[in-house]
Chains A and B, each alone.
Chain A
Amino acid sequence: MSENLVQKRKKVTSLITQLIDCPTGEKVKIIRVQAGHHAKRRLANLGIIPGVDIIKKQAAPFRGPVEIIVKGSLLVIGRGLASRIIVMLDNSK
């Protein structure tokens, strides 16, 4: 029983990742935004809030910014900022 729980937790933690690391084309849920006050307010205004589903569309080559679909519109977010957005992959797969 407890082993099961540990395994389950492991599974969950492996599903949690930075936005820059998650695979493209997949729907993910925002868990946390660890940016500074200003950037956080800006992102929140644009709908990047914990609990919201986003799709990572693509990442620019040479470790460039990340393009996401949030609330029906395309947003480009600098890589540094994208690394501070923590998301969870859809675990149904």
Chain B
Amino acid sequence: MKIKKFKDKSKQKSEDNKGRINIALAGNANIGKSVIFNQLTGLSQTIGNWPGKTVEKMEGYLNFLGYRFNIVDLPGIYSLSTYSLEEIISREYIVSEEVDVIINVIDATNLERNLFFTFQLLELKIPMILAINQMDILRKRNLDLDFKKLEEIFKLPVIPVIAVHGTGVHQLLEEAIELVVYHKPSLHYVQGGKRMHEQLTHCYTKPNQDSKPKNEFQFPDLSSLLSYGKEVETRIKELVKNIDKYSNYFSKFHYPSRFLAIKILENDEELEKLFRINQETIYILELADKYRNELEQLHGEDISTIISSEIYTDIHKIIEQVLIVKSHGELKTNWAEKIDHLTTHSIWGYAILILILIGIYLFTFLIGGFLGGIIEDSFDRLSTSIYNIYPEDNLGVKILWEGAVGGIFGAISGVLVYVIPFFLIIEILQDSGYLPRAAYLMDRFMHSIGVHGKTIIPMILGFGCNVPACTGCRIMETEREKKISIALTSLIPCAAVMTVVLGLVGRYAGVVWVLILFAINFIVIIITGKILNRILPGECTELIMEMHEYRVPNYSVILTQTWVRTKEFIYKAMPIIIISGAFLELLFMFRLLDPVNLLISPITVFWLGLPAVTGIFLIYGILRKELTLVLLALLANSMGTNLSGLLTPFQMIIFSLVTMLYIPCFATIVIIAKETNWKFALKISLLEIGMALLIGGVINWGYIFFTSI
């Protein structure tokens, strides 16, 4: 299956590939890779999913010097092993025929960690450009790098970049043309001495030359650089020899045999599969097992430790050669460190976390509510003028207007206006570097409900809107943690739920009850976490996370990202929300749901002690939770009373509690189904309905019981 797919692609490629260069941006997380991507592709960016996977694929393109550059921004990773789905996807993509050249973005201020990944990329033997970013920050620290030396070592172009200023960014593309079209790395420092643009003038004068398959590019011989010590190397060579015997078979997978050898030596589950499918190659795995045992005996260490420490030793030597220390300036504590100290403080840290939660809520709620109000008003005004023209009993007009147009308006005013400010604020939080701090503070607590600290990130986002927050659960490393995170996130009271709780309970029953309701909500979250932790197979993994320094968010990245994400949301989620909204609207219009009131009255009236009419409001609330309150208010209005005439304070508490918990809103269910599957979305919905009814009923009957004695 897989093999066939590769073949088809390569055939297609040779036909329509004139002047097209495909670039993969690879590097660690949080090193300005997205800034470079943004500089290059701007608004042409799209977010999709990797085929069949829930990892985001960021793509964009630009035309430059007569070529079309398709750029894929790979997820920020630290290694090409199998720690996360992102790592597996990245390496599969890089070796696929789709990539012509890799731009490896490297953080100049953290060379050791970043070069480790570079070493792994080099093993894939794909034309590569090293882009050393954040040179400005390095130079501020009175340090510099010897680029001539770097190119001598790597035998590949090494370009200094200051992404935030755009310095060196387009030079990366010129180098890409050099590698892909002219099949040679232009090592100006090594050959000509001076790095100048004029050496690349042929890029300008001969555009649109047919780009040729990258295999004509002679990848430089780096065997002395990529050497893991004599003991390891002899065994790798032996494995390579055996793998090459089946080169016909392995060439389909595009991995260099040396890479395969290293990985099976490291016990890489994914690549071992390739050896297992073919009966004849299984013996190579046995050989690798034998070698691994020998090496581990010899060194007294795990194989991954042996190889990693060899690489880090090499890197250390390289850094000693290329790092230029100008003078030892005194290191001042800068603002970033002060904020770091404050936000991870054992008291202030939590206070700031709570403030940020309130901030997210206020921000999405105020902006969303304001915009939503304007849109609803204009819809109402349009409705009046429509019904002035057409009689109100004209069914065709009514269906078209309230069903179709109303569905679109409803989706915009009820969902989209909350989603946009929300995207904006998460991008700011993400880009500034706050979110890992929250994960750090909450790790201990999150462990008690079966996940590690990172889950707090989508949960924080859930306070604004559950819909994109559930998408945010993609950051979790394992499927199990993703599922638990999604379930917990869907239980976070979002801005809409907050409206209902404050509008009913806060107004008529007092703030204390609001706090009690929240406490109940969080207890439910904890219980859900504990239950899922028990029933889902597997174990909670430990947190291993990099915490990068705080930085001033890059506004252009934030705005582009917000725009691109909104666009994706409009294309992918809005149609479903609009159609289902219109459908419910129609059911409502023809009073088809009225019998439902009767049907569920045993639950609403008997079990929960609510008026029968609330049944339909609760059903309507699945679409948009704040509708439960809006409809209640409308009903009260039509009866010439206010909310307190309709429900007793106690009923309000029950009603709000049920609204809070009973089901994720429809848009959230859709997203959960997309991120996992419909079965899981259904299970979560049923679980939440069950819990809401259980708790609501118990409180109601407890109240009846205690007041009767």
Spell out A's residues near B (CB within 8 Å).
33, 37-47, 49-52, 58, 60-65, 67, 71-81
Q: Is the CB of A76 within 8 A of B547?
A: yes
Residue of A nearest to B303 (CB): A41
Report the separation of the CA atoms of residues A75 and B30 in the bound assembly, to the nearest whole angstrom: 13
Residues of chain A with a CB closer than 8 A to B543's CB: 65, 76-78, 81
Contacts of B309 in A (CB 8 A): 44, 49-52
Most A C-beta atoms less than 10 A away, residue of B79, B308, B439? B308
- Contact: A45 with B443, CB < 8 Å? no
CA distance A75 to B543 in the complex (A): 10
Residues of A within 8 A of B547 (CB): 67, 74-76
Is B308 within 8 A of A44, CB to CB? yes
Within the complex, the shortest CB–CB distance from A46 to chain B, in Å, comes to 6
User: Is B53 at the interface (CB under 8 A from chain A)?
Assistant: no
A49 touching B546 in the complex, CB below 8 Å, given contacts A44-B302, A67-B344 = no
Between A and B, 7 residue pairs with Cβ closer than 8 Å are A44-B305, A47-B113, A61-B349, A64-B441, A67-B440, A75-B544, A76-B443
A46 and B78 within 8 A (CB)? yes
Q: Which of B505-552 contact A (CB under 8 A)?
A: 541-549
Contacts of B116 in A (CB 8 A): 45, 47
Is the beta-carbon distance between B305 and A40 smaller than 8 angstroms? yes
Q: Given A40-B302, A45-B304, are A65 and B267 also a contact pair (CB < 8 Å)?
A: no
Q: What chain A residues lie within 8 Å of B349 (beta carbons)?
A: 61
| A41 with B444: CB separation less than 8 A | no
Asked if A49 contacts B443 (CB within 8 A), the reply is: no
The answer to whether B305 touches A60 (Cβ under 8 A) is: no
Confirm or deny: B83 has a beta carbon within 8 angstroms of a beta carbon on chain A: yes
| B436 proximal to A (CB < 8 A) | yes
Give the Cβ gap from B32 to chain A, nearest Cβ, in Å.
14
Per-residue CB proximity of B540-581 to A under 8 Å, as 1/0? 011111111100000000000000000000000000000000
Q: Mark B428-466, 1 if CB is under 8 A from A, else 0.
A: 000000001001110111010000110000000000000
Number of chain B residues whose Cβ lies closer than 8 Å to a Cβ of chain A? 42
Q: A42-B83, A77-B542, A78-B544 are in contact. Are A65 and B440 (CB under 8 A)?
A: yes
Find the B residue at minimum CB distance from A42.
Answer: B83
The answer on a CB contact under 8 Å between B304 and A41 is yes
- Please indicate the chain B residues that have their CB under 8 angstroms from the CB of A33 in the complex: 302, 305
Judging by beta carbons under 8 Å apart, are A60 and B444 in contact? Answer: yes
* Bound CA–CA A41/B82 (angstroms): 10
- Residues of B within 8 Å of A40, CB to CB, are 302, 304-305
Contact A45 B81 (CB under 8 A): yes
Whether B542 contacts A39 by the Cβ 8 Å rule is yes
| B346 touches which of A39, A61, A72, A81 (Cβ 8 Å) | A61
How many whole Å from B170's CB to the nearest CB in chain A? 29
Contacts of B548 in A (CB 8 A): 73-74
Which residues from chain B contact A46 at a C-beta distance below 8 Å? 78, 113, 544, 546
B151 is an interface residue with CB less than 8 A from chain A: no
Report Cα–Cα, A38/B302, bound state, in Å.
11
Residue contact B304 to A76, C-beta cutoff 8 Å = no
Q: Is the CB of B346 within 8 A of A78?
A: no
CB-defined interface of B75-105 with A at 8 Å, one 1/0 digit per residue?
0001101010000000000000000000000
List the B side residues contacting A45 at CB < 8 Å: 78-79, 81, 83, 116, 304, 308
The 8 closest A-B pairs by CB, nearest first: A78-B542, A61-B346, A44-B308, A78-B543, A41-B304, A64-B444, A81-B542, A45-B79
Residues of A contacting B111 with CB < 8 Å? 72
Cβ distance B342 to chain A, nearest Cβ, rounded Å:
12
Given known A-B contacts A44-B309, A67-B344, A39 and B544 have beta carbons under 8 A apart: yes
Is B301 in contact with chain A by the CB < 8 A criterion? Answer: yes
**Does B217 count as interface, using CB distance less than 8 angstroms?**
no
Known: A50-B305, A78-B447. A41 touches B266 (CB 8 A): yes
CA of A41 to CA of B520, assembled, Å: 41
Is there an interface contact between B544 and A49, defined as CB atoms closer than 8 Å? no
The answer to whether B312 touches A73 (Cβ under 8 A) is: no
Which residues from A are CB-within-8-Å of B109?
A: 72
Which residues of chain B have C-beta atoms less than 8 A from A76's C-beta? Answer: 436, 439-440, 443, 453, 543-547
Minimum Cβ distance to chain A for residue B282 (Å): 21
Q: Per-residue 0/1 for B322-360: is the Cβ within 8 Å of any A Cβ (1 yes, 0 no)?
A: 000000000000000000000010100100000000000
Known pairs A63-B444, A64-B444; A47 contacts B546 (CB<8 A): no
Expressed in whole angstroms, the Cα–Cα distance for A44 and B447 within the complex equals 23
Shortest C-beta distance, A34 to chain B (Å), equals 10
Interface string of B251-283 (1 = CB under 8 A from A): 000000000000000110000000000000000
Q: How far is the CA of A64 from the CA of B308 in the complex (A)?
A: 28
Give, as a whole number of angstroms, the nearest-CB distance from B302 to chain A: 5
**Is there a chain A Cβ closer than 8 Å to B585's Cβ?**
no
8 Å CB contact of A62 from B79, B445, B453, B542? B445
Q: Which residue of B lies closest to A43 (CB)?
A: B544
Please determine whether B78 and A64 come into contact, CB atoms closer than 8 angstroms: no
Pick the contact of B444: A58, A65, A73, A74 (CB < 8 A).
Answer: A65
Assess whether A58 is in contact with B344, with CB atoms less than 8 Å apart: yes
A44, A65, A73, A74: the one contacting B443 at CB < 8 Å is: A65
Could you tell me the distance in whole angstroms from the C-beta of B265 to the nearest C-beta in chain A? 12
User: Does B344 contact A72, Cβ atoms closer than 8 Å?
Assistant: no
B144 to chain A, nearest CB (A): 16
Query: A74-B547, A75-B546 known; A37 and B267 CB under 8 Å?
Result: yes
Contacts of B110 in A (CB 8 A): 71-73
Are A49 and B312 neighbours in the complex by a CB distance under 8 Å? yes
Q: Which of A41, A49, A81 contacts B83 (CB 8 A)?
A: A41
Q: Would B312 and A47 count as touching, CB distance under 8 A? A: yes
B residues less than 8 Å from A80 (CB atoms): 447, 542
Residues of A within 8 A of B439 (CB): 76
Closest to A38 in B: B83
With A and B bound together, what is the CA distance between A61 and B453 in angstroms? 13
A71 touches B112 (CB 8 A): yes
Complex Cα distance A60/B347, Å?
11
Q: Which residues of chain A come closer than 8 Å to B308, judged between CB atoms?
A: 44-45, 47, 49
Query: Bound state CA distance, A71 and B114, in angstroms?
Result: 10
Q: Which residues of B contact A38 (CB under 8 A)?
A: 83
A60 with B544: CB separation less than 8 A:
no
Q: Which residues of B contact A62 (CB under 8 A)?
A: 444-445
A65 cross-chain contacts in B, Cβ below 8 A: 440, 443-444, 453, 543
Residues on the A chain within 8 Å of B304, using CB: 37, 40-41, 44-45
Which of A45, A52, A80 counts the most chain B CB atoms within 10 A? A45
Q: Which of A37, A58, A60, A71 contacts B302 (CB 8 A)?
A: A37
**Chain B residue contacts of A81, Cβ below 8 A:** 542-544
